[in-house]
């Protein structure tokens, strides 16, 4: 029986329990904790970047309108060299946070 099982099976004695462990037991317990930590964690998805034409097409607007939105601060493009890109997550957040009348 490992340390985690002892603690799970006997929660009432966990506060006063004193154990003598060896290095292998300690390593097994650390591995157990690491695996438990990984269970609830999900990998972040890679950021999707949209080109201005893609974003304008998505909203059915012209590139000039998109430029005006940039100037008003509604959209926040990022620059990669000379290329302008829009984070898809920023656009999704804009759609959730802003009422449609402000666009």
How long, in residues, is the chain?
A: 103
Enter the pTM of the model: 0.53
Between residues 45 and 31, which one has the greater pLDDT? 31
d(CA 55, CA 87): 10
Cβ pair 34, 56 in contact under 8 A: no
Between residues 20 and 60, which one has the greater pLDDT? 60
d(CA 55, CA 48): 12
Q: How confident is the model at residue 80 (pLDDT cuts 50, 70, 90)?
A: very high
| pLDDT tens-digit readout, 13-32 | 777 777 788 889 889 888 98
Cβ pair 19, 2 in contact under 8 A: no
């Amino acid at each position: 029986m490992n340390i985690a099982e002892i603690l799970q099976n006997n929660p009432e004695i966990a506060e006063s329990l004193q154990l003598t462990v060896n290095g292998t037991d300690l390593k097994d317990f650390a591995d157990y904790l690491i695996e438990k930590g990984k269970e609830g964690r999900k990998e972040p998805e890679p950021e999707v970047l949209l080109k201005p034409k893609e974003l304008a097409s998505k909203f059915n607007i012209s590139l000039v309108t998109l430029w005006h939105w940039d100037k008003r601060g509604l959209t926040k493009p990022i620059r990669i060299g000379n290329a302008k890109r829009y984070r898809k997550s920023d656009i999704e957040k804009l759609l959730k946070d802003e009422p449609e009348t402000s666009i």
